Amino acid sequence: MGIGAAAVSFASCQRSNAMDPALQETLGQPLRGFTNNPDFRDAGRSITEEQYATSYNNFYEFGGTKNIWVEAQNLPTDPWTLAVSGLVKNPQKYDLDDLTKCFPLDERVYLFLCV
């Protein structure tokens, strides 16, 4: 009897594999026009499911909660500009399109560890 009750309580702790519909709407189309970089194809572990990789935050620069992805949808990403300024010889601003023309996209798989 005690084992059965424990099993029921553990079952309720399991994560659902269903993706949050609000998250699904934000994913958009995958990037196109990139090549797979063979030097970064395998991180030695299985790839994290997209629903977890796109909705979990461990970077406190973006916010102090794990579900900051909801608020991150308001982050403007277009136009996106990179400014090189400060103690540099030639300060410049680069548009994202300028950078992708000079540095083509490539896919890399990395292993990130929680500490």
The predicted-structure confidence for 14-73, as pLDDT tens digits, reads as follows: 455 676 777 677 666 666 677 777 888 777 888 788 777 777 776 677 777 777 777 777
User: 19-23, 27-31, 95-99, 110-114 — which is least confidently predicted?
Assistant: 27-31
Whether the model clears a pTM of 0.85, i.e. scores above it, the answer is no
The predicted-structure confidence for 53-69, as pLDDT tens digits, reads as follows: 777 776 677 777 777 77
Q: How many residues does the chain have?
A: 115
Rounded-to-10 torsion of CA 21, 26, 31, 37? -70
Sketch the domain layout of the chain as residue ranges: 19-107
81 has which bridge partners? 95
